[in-house]
Structure 1
Amino acid sequence: MPDRRAQLVTRVRGMLADALGATRSRAAAADADLTAARERLARVRRAAAAVPDRVGAQRDGRLAEIDSGHQARIAELARRASAAARREAPGAASAEWTHWRPTPPGGSGPPGAVRIGTLRIPGAEPVPALVPLLDAGHVHLSGAELAGGEPVVPALLLRSLGRADPGTVRLIGYDPDQLGGGLAGFAPLTSAGLLTFVGPGGLGRLLDDLVEQIRRINETVLAGEYSSLRELAAATGRRPEPWRVAVLLGGDELSRHERSQLDRVVRTGATCGVHLVVRGVPLPEHQTVTRIVVEPEGVRLGDPPGLPARLDPPPPATLVTETCRAVAATVNAGPPPAPFAELLPPVEQFWQEDSANGLTAPIGAAPNGRQVQLSLGDYPPHALIGGPSGTGKTNLIFAWIGALASRYSPDQLEFYLLDFKEGVSFARFAQGRRDPSWLPHMRLVGINVNTDREFGLALLRFLAEELRRRADAAKKHEVTKLSELRTVDPQGRWPRIVAVVDEFQMLLAGRDVVAREAADLLEDLARRGRSQGIHLVLASQDVRGIEALWGRPALVAQFTLRIALPKALRILAERNDAAQTLPRHHAVVNAESGMAEGNQVARIPSASDWESWSELQHRLWRMRPDDAAPARLFDGDAIPRLTEAPDFRALRPGEGERRTPVAVLGEIIDVQARSAVLRLPRAPGRNLAVIGTRVDEACAVLDAAARSLARQHRPGEARFSIACLDPDADPAARELYGELADDAAWYDEETVPELMAETAEGLSRAGSGARPHYLLLFAVDAAAGQLAGRVGGRTGLEQLRRILHDGPERRTHVLAWWRGVARMRVDLGGPAARTDQIGAWVALDVQGGELGSSLYPGTGGPDWYPRPWRGLFFDRSVHRTGQVIIPYGPAR
């Protein structure tokens, strides 16, 4: 009897020690108590043996009392062991199947052991039987009744999946007998690449691959800094590699090579996240192997002889399938982006970097947890970004801008942004009505310019001029690079410039003068810009955008930094298809012109949503210098206001008498917010023709011209004659007439001949020209019938021609709208008539070919394609080519 009790105590102690596994430290106190109890029991046994039979009854009672106490102690220890096991294997690791669900720890938390059943302890509640697998070791299933252990494999795998983040556990199945049928419930994982089946005869290749993975992880991921992936994850907060679990369900006798490779995996796999779950294949003895032996009388867990255990029922097939489908769907959707804050330095380190030798900032985390750096400098000088719509191109640009702007001050770095696709995502960098803040580094933001290629050309011209200015300064100081210039001229302001052009292929589309000049400027900037700190970042979501560059190898060669988003084509080198298998929120970064050996995969944080960006921009805005000015915002969909134009607001009364008056016509599509102006000196041809059928735009041009001229004259100093001959233009002309007040006179179809006669006659009078006279003629060609009649011996058209010819020298200028080129030619004297008296014109919905050589230098007319609310302005005395302008909207 006492011997049996002592044996029971000893056995329970061993059972509890093995059951607790990783929780042995928590059960140390209980173990010590149990040892003390055993020693006390031994002392009692020795004392009892020396007691005479006459006290046997007393002895048996005392032993019964001791036995009862120890039984209670065993039950208490079992309860403590169960609690410790639940802490070691929480949630999905040990929950009953009836209410089981995945409970990943998140981040780099350890998955812990998983439950396969319960330990059988007589007289005590069952203790969960835990098996360590992920980051711990391997599981070997054997025994005479192997079929009885079938619930172990699906339980191990499902609980392991449930205790890991989706996508971090990858299964490899080798099931030659059932041809994969033993893992049929896990088949949905194959769609996400999380389950791979190896066919009969493939065991050798599988083991070779596992050994290679272990070698790679040791060499490139752990790299001697960490002893295991678990230690690396705990130190960095990231797990750079998934767990790989190879499930080997039987097979033929292993060859010597296969046995050798299997031994290597057993010895070294656990530290690299490579694990084995084996049934029917012998495993070598090793401390990382947990043995499960299935015998007729039950299951034993642990090293022989093992602890008696009862297996849990297998997980329901529907639970396995549904869980695997959910995991696969999550993985196929891609991992969520990392927080934007990961790219930013500590606040106290904002604007502490020096850009003299280049710009460097992180763009995201590599699989090993280290930051992937993007650099622009002498090498690589420029970047090419590509990816289909929806793959995160705009988000990547935002992340890169934020990482740079937080490290370099506006004196070190300036941005110029241009977006050729429809959208306003870049507008947040400029001052807006909703948010008055702006990014202090931003100098230009162009949005909705998909139909305004001229604005992209204007940016390239601006950069070319800045390049020339910097090159001249470098030559003056006898240096060649920006870093040297900043050394010899420390008082100068020489920030590095990063110009980002999204959907740049729009700029190169077509075979017109814009595309040709843009390509030439791009090539020159790409070739020479690096030395003067001007860097280009070209982005495209369409493969045609990349193909637009392929005909210019000298240009492409300068873009050695390539960033390919998922499914991007032709960004990397021809045979480098790394981008085709990228998950969402990732990019391939390559600073070696796209060659495969330069690939780095980066997980891109979320930076494009307003909440992520706003906090950083407001912080940088509050840090801005006192003399900082908002960026120039050009919105191709917005109509500028005359009253907000800097050139209009700079006009002052009296200037028209002291200096040559100017007429403001519209906003030039240019980097600076400049106005197109027509100077009206006392010289031949200083008249303006507005040509086209679009009433609103024609009225807008004449309205802006009249208001700007009136702003330069004091009341009574100039005369304005307004003739409206188109009913549709009448409201705009009437409003202008009311604005000009006492200095204006109104004429209609009946009285316009009198205006022509009176004005023509006045040109001959002595003292004519003392007071400027501006004739504003709305749809003058509509008065052809009225002007055909004679007044004072001449027709109205003849008098109009005289005014156009002689008027400017006497301070009389005609600003007239004709609704077509042919109609204007008729009024000027016919198809063969000279047009010299029209010194400037604004073409609206008129094709370039209609203008012809008589109005435009060269042959065939300008490369002009009409589009809404745009005009082509040409002044013979100033321009070699026309300027695209945007008519100003109503003044009110």
Structure 2
Amino acid sequence: MPDVRTSVVESVRAALSRARAAARVHLDAARSDLAGAEARLARVQQAGEQRPARAAAERDRRLAELADKHAAGMADLARRAAVAGALRATGAAGDPWPGWHPTPAIRTEPPDLLRVGEIRIPGAPPVPALVPLLDRGHVALVGPHTGPGAGAVWTEERSDEGRQRLQGAGASASGASASQHSLVATLLLRALGRAAPGTVRITGYDPERLGGGLAGFAPLAPAGLLTFVGPGGLAGLLDDLVDHIRRINETVLAGEHSSLREMAVATGKRPEPWRVAVLLGGDELSRHERAQLERILRTGAACGVHLIVRGIPVPEWSTVETVTVDGDTALLSSCGPLPVLLDGPPPADLVTATSRRLAERVSTGPAPAVFADLLPEEIWTESSAAGLTAPVGDSPEGRPVSVTLADYPPHALIAGPSGTGKTNLIYAWMGALSARYSPTELEFYLLDFKEGVSFARFAPGQRDPSWLPHVRLVGVNVNTDREFGLALLRFLGRELRRRADAAKQHEVTKLAELRAEDPTGHWPRIVAVVDEFQVLLTGRDALAQEAATLLEDLARRGRSQGIHLILASQDVSGIEALWGRPALVAQFTLRIALPKARRILAETNTAAETLPRHHAVVNADSGAVEANRIVRIPAASDRRTWGELQHRLWRDWRDRPASLGAPRLFDGDAVPQLATSPDFAALRPGTVDPVVLLGESIDVQARSARLPLSRSPGRNIAVVGTRVEEACAVLAAAARSLARQSPDARFSVACLDQDAAATAESLRPDLPPDTGWYDAPGLAELLPELEPDPSRPHYLFLFAADAAASTLAVKTGGRSGHEHLRRLLNTGPERRTHVLGWWRSVARLRDDLGGIGSRTDSIGAWVALDVQGGDLSGFYPQQGGPVWYPRPWRALYFDRARHRTPEVVIPYGLTT
């Protein structure tokens, strides 16, 4: 038993010993692990204490590198901008809001970048933060997002190392939305202020606020500069923009330029406005809408189509500037992680006032095109053999719109109310033609029936001695001288016959063929411009009938002989004057309608009703709608603008050996002078049958109304009327012209009206010394003693002959003075004695000739002043007398031996 107990005790002791040994081993291992853990814990604690300092130092180092890198990048951009002129925010594109005002760029300047804020880098001046838009790309506005740099701003807090630190600052979604709306207003206002009025057009899509996001720009809407698209209209808007881009590529750029910006640099003109679509949120896009949006993002900037997008996912394209807005700060995709401190929003009243002024400016009409754009680089390089072609303005796409006068269309009709630019259009057209065709290729005949001197500048004047060398005739202030218009048509008719005869001689039919067969001949194309032409056609007299006949003949046959008509009118009655003559209207296939012009285009063609200022509808197919071309007309009527071209052409032509002389200027308000008359200068002494110059004929050529004093019965002249000055002027011109040809002739002057005494006395220096001067009693004594001497001409001038009626009624030697006067009138001309007298009425002239029923053929010629045509019936071969409406300083001259119908003349001014 004891042995068993001992054995058990020993076994237990042995087990306990083994357990203790194992426990000591585990305890030692635990103690070792604990020591290792404590060591690791100490290392961890030590590393934790050092990590913030290293992290801050690393962050500061990285930010310093980024700042240096951005500063270097901005400096490089600035250097490249100085060379390329691309990185700019001048004037309204970058000015602060206080004192801000629109500063439209000139047409050769590229669009600016638009300032939205500034990048503030410690230790450096603030750098403007600029966003590209016009001609450059699109802008996408997004809200704040999580991650490094979200909503970061620079602060002045410093670390232990003394370096600036970047702190995070968050913003609410509502604050970001308000900032995005402010940024939209900033971009739009700066774009509008830096572009020419009307060249930026905005489309707003704002389904959430229903246009409220663009409310400040609402005054732009009436002028067509702002349109809104309602909810659900996004797809249609995107489709319209894509179609617009396609049209620009096909019809404007047309493969010649890669973008509108490049085209503007190359041509100096921008043919299309910028279209900015502001998309302010909406539902999720459909597949079609996403595809259209991507097309616009890829291709829109080159075609002047730009997007400002908020609340719509936009893919990352190189043309998209992404602006991450977080309160009053933002991150620009072009600036990397550098934060931008946004400018404050533009004041609401500034937005509204600027929009209102722009709308008012645009509503008054766009600025005209530039006259210099119509002119070629070299003058007079084109031939008019086949026709005349020249631009009159540019199209909405900025391309020149040329107009042709040739076999088709042969003639032009221009219409437009007063103030719509009719005269300016004519100036622009004439300037473009004159610069292309030399005076040997083109001649102008200009006639203006309205009161004014629109065409006078083409002839030499007192202020400007130059003239347009192409112009051969200028008629101004002829609103009461329809005879001058008729004279022009007669002249053109004669020229048409001359050319037709030459064409027959050379067996050709057209001007181009005639010029080829007769290269040494003078065959320029003729363009006759008649403003307010209806004056010629509105009367029902013989003049209007003859004018209509001549006009129809010229319109029908002139095309083949290079004679073209341009008829213009500002009143609808001018156009209506043609409708009764369909054969005439049909020849004027070229129609040019100015704003509000009526009845010039086809009845269904209303294009002129909505035409803005400085524009015209050019239609070469008799006004058919499908032939309309809208043209912007440049300002060409300014004296300085036109003068530069005219002086250039005049100097070049004047220096040529075969240059033409100055054009004939007929001014209906001017009184011609005998001393400057070419016919008076050509008079020479010793003429067998002298001529009397009575006044200036209303004719294309500056010629005098002439009365030959041959030895034929009736070669006497009577001036009839009560206008003393005009009657004296006629007799004075007759006396001076005769004295110039017959210095050895005998002159007798009887002045029987005190009002005519001054004129009679003024003749003394110009008449022979032995001239006899008589009063009424002296005339009564002279007539019985007067015996004509065929060897010496004798001219008896009677000023107010009827004033001597009582004296001449007394009989001397069985005959009265009247009988002696009648004998002299009847028999004197055959013996070279002629009577040139003034009677103050037709009735008194009849009394001196023997009363009613007496013969009047002893008065072979007469000049009627303020006398009605019916009163002259006894001195006119046709019953009822001539058609004559007296007017100041005009006279009706009729010579039985030479005239079929009387002619209107202008008495020469009195020379005292």
TM value normalised by structure 2: 0.84
Contact 1:718 1:743 (8 Å CA) reproduced:
no
Aligned CA-pair RMSD: 3.3
Q: Does 2:568 match 1:545?
A: no
Which of structures 1 and 2 has the bigger CA Rg?
2
User: In the alignment, which residue of structure 1 is the partner of 2:680?
Assistant: 648
Query: Residue 807 in 1 paired to residue 834 in 2?
Result: no
Shift of 1:650: 1.3
CA distance in 1, matches of 2:566, 2:60: 81
Report the 3-state secondary structure (helix = DSSP H, G, I; strand = E; otherwise coil) of the residue aligned with 2:712: coil
Match of 2:863 in 1: 842
Per-residue CA distance 1:317-372 (angstroms, 9 max, x = gap)? 121122223323333344444443322223xx322222111122222233333322
In structure 2, the CA distance between the partners of 1:82 and 1:662, relative to structure 1 (3 Å rule), is same
Cα shift at 1:501: 1.3
**What SS does structure 2 have at the residue aligned with 1:682?**
coil
After TM superposition, the score normalised by the length of structure 1 is: 0.86
Partner of residue 890 from structure 2, selected from 855, 867, 870: 870
Residues 656-805 of structure 1: pairs in structure 2 closer than 5 A:
659-714=688-743, 717-759=744-786, 762=787, 768-805=789-826
Q: Which amino acid aligns with 1:138?
A: H
Distance 1:577 1:820 in 2: 56
Of stretches 286-295 and 601-610 in structure 1, the one that deviates more from structure 2 is 286-295
Q: CA deviation at 1:664?
A: 0.8
Q: CA deviation at 1:280?
A: 4.2
Aligned position for 1:605: 634
Q: Provide the C-alpha distance between the structure 2 equivalents of 1:518 and 1:692, rounded to a whole number of angstroms.
A: 29
**Structure 1 Cα separation of the partners of residues 69 and 612 of structure 2:** 49
CA 1:728–1:123: 2 relative to 1, 3 Å: closer
CA shift in 2, pair 1:58/1:278, >3 Å:
closer
CA distance in 1, matches of 2:53, 2:342: 39
The separation in 1 between residues aligned to 2:387 and 2:736, in whole angstroms, is: 49
1:634 partnered with 2:666: yes
2:804 maps to a residue whose letter is: A
Count of paired positions: 828
Paired with 1:313 and 1:428, the residues of 2 have a C-alpha distance of 56
Structure 1's 566 and 82: CA in aligned 2 closer, same or farther, altered over 3 A?
farther
Amino acid at match of 1:530: R
How far apart are residue 484 of structure 1 and its match?
0.8
SS at match of 1:686: coil
Deviations 1:590-634, CA, capped at 9 Å, x for gaps:
222222332333333333233223333333223323242211111
Deviation of residue 256 (structure 1)? Answer: 6.7
Gap change, CA 1:750 and 1:253, over 3 Å in 2: farther
CA contact (8 A) 2:739 2:768 kept: no
1:362 maps to what in 2? Answer: 391
Q: 1:856 aligns with which of 876, 884, 898?
A: 876
1:491 correspondence with 2:523: no
Bigger shift: residues 801-810 or 575-584:
575-584
Matched AA of 2:849: L
Note if 1:167 corresponds to 2:198: yes
Contact 2:448 2:477 in 1 (8 A): yes
- Of 149-158 and 79-88, the range deviating more from structure 2: 79-88
Q: Is the contact between residue 382 and residue 537 of structure 1 (CA under 8 Å) also seen in structure 2?
A: yes
**Bigger mean CA offset, 393-402 vs 627-636:** 393-402
In 2, Cα distance between equivalents of 1:500 and 1:394: 11
1:487-636 matched pairs, under 5 angstroms: 487-624=516-653, 625-627=656-658, 628-636=660-668
User: Is 2:471 the counterpart of 1:476?
Assistant: no
Q: Is it true that 1:879 corresponds to 2:908 in the alignment?
A: no
Could you give the per-residue CA deviations for residues 291-331 of structure 1, whole angstroms, max 9, x where no partner exists? 44556897555499987555432100121122223323333
8 Å Cα contact 1:568-1:580 kept in structure 2: yes
Q: 1:74–1:124: 8 Å Cα contact kept in structure 2? A: no
Partner of 1:400: 429
* Deviation of 1:724 (Å): 1.6
Q: CA deviation at 1:282?
A: 4.8
Is structure 2 residue 852 aligned with structure 1 residue 825?
Answer: no
The answer to whether 1:194 aligns with 2:247 is no
Q: Which runs of 5 or more structure 2 residues have no equivalent in the other structure?
A: 1-44, 82-86, 144-172
| C-alpha distance in structure 2 between counterparts of 1:799 and 1:363, whole Å | 70
Q: In the aligned structure 1, how far is the partner of 2:455 from the partner of 2:233?
A: 53
Question: How big is each residue's C-alpha offset from its partner over 1:723-746, in whole Å with a ceiling of 9 and x where there is no partner?
Answer: 122211111112224531423211
Give me the whole-angstrom Cα distance separating, in 2, the residues matched to 1:385 and 1:106: 32
1:139 corresponds to which letter in structure 2?
V
Once residues 334 and 297 of structure 1 are traced to their aligned partners in structure 2, the CA distance between those partners, rounded to angstroms, is 40
**More divergent stretch after superposition (681-690 vs 258-267):** 258-267
* Residue matched to 2:139: 139
Superposition deviation, residue 843 in structure 1: 0.8
3-state SS of 1:425 partner: coil
Distance 1:608 1:135 in 2: 34
Equivalent residue, structure 1, for 2:249: 218
1:233 aligns with 2:264: yes
SS at structure 2 position matched to 1:707: helix
Distance in 2 of aligned mates of 1:95 and 1:82:
20
Q: 1:106: which partner in 2?
A: 106
Counterpart-to-counterpart distance in 2, 1:126 and 1:682: 104
**Match of 2:443?**
414
Is 1:161–1:169's contact at 8 Å kept on the other side of the alignment? yes
814 and 193 in structure 1: CA distance in 2 versus 1, 3 angstrom threshold: same
Deviates more, 1:115-124 or 1:473-482: 115-124
Deviates more, 1:605-614 or 1:412-421: 605-614
Whole-angstrom CA distance in 2 between matches of 1:634 and 1:296: 76
Matched letter for residue 98 of structure 2: T
Using the TM superposition, name which of 279-288 and 816-825 deviates more. 279-288
Give the 3 Å change call, closer, same or farther, for CA 406–225 of structure 1 in structure 2: closer
SS at match of 1:623: helix
Indicate which of 319, 337, 356 corresponds to 2:350.
319
Matched AA of 2:749:
I
1:816 aligns with 2:837: yes
One-letter amino acid of the counterpart of residue 724, structure 1: C
CA contact under 8 A between 2:746 and 2:768: conserved in structure 1? no
SS in 2 for 1:278: strand
1:408-438 per-residue CA deviation (whole Å, 9 max, x = no partner) reads 2222221111122222232222233333332
Residue 276 of structure 2 is aligned to residue 245 of structure 1: yes
Q: 1:806 corresponds to which letter in structure 2? A: T
Secondary structure, aligned partner of 2:402 = strand
C-alpha deviation, 1:91, in angstroms: 3.3
- Distance in structure 2 (CA, Å) of the matches to 1:249 and 1:223: 33
